[in-house]
């Protein structure tokens, strides 16, 4: 599922989706990915536990790479590399 490790500080754009409920974190991430060039990395921070399922499925279906995900202290972080 997670294709490679990426350091916490490595990203080209960040999206704070904390406080948003499904499906908004994923929808906002898709919009932000549209602005990035192929190969760039988006870091997303969310608070919705359902975002884990959403981001995993989205990465598989979209072709974007889910490089890393973290969960802790009520926060969920995802690093996506645009296809």
DSSP state of 24: H
Domain boundaries, the chain: 22-37+49-82
DSSP state of 83: -
Q: pLDDT band at 10, cuts 50/70/90?
A: confident
22 is catalytic: yes
Is residue 37 reached through a cis peptide bond, with omega within 30 degrees of 0 on the bond before it?
Answer: no
Flag whether pLDDT at 2 surpasses 60.
no
User: Could you tell me if 17 and 28 are in contact, meaning their C-beta atoms sit under 8 angstroms apart?
Assistant: yes
Catalytically annotated residue among 20, 22, 24, 36: 22
Read off the pLDDT of residues 21-73 as tens digits, 9 standing for 90 and up: 999 999 999 999 999 999 999 999 999 999 999 999 999 999 999 999 999 99
């Amino acid at each position: 599922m997670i294709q490679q490790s990426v350091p916490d500080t490595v990203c080209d754009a960040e999206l704070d989706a904390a406080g948003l409920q499904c499906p908004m974190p994923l929808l906002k991430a898709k919009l932000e990915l549209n602005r990035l060039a192929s190969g760039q990395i988006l870091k997303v921070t969310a608070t919705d536990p359902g975002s884990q399922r959403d981001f995993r499925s989205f990465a598989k279906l979209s072709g974007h790479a889910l490089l890393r995900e973290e969960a802790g202290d009520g926060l969920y972080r995802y690093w996506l590399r645009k296809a």
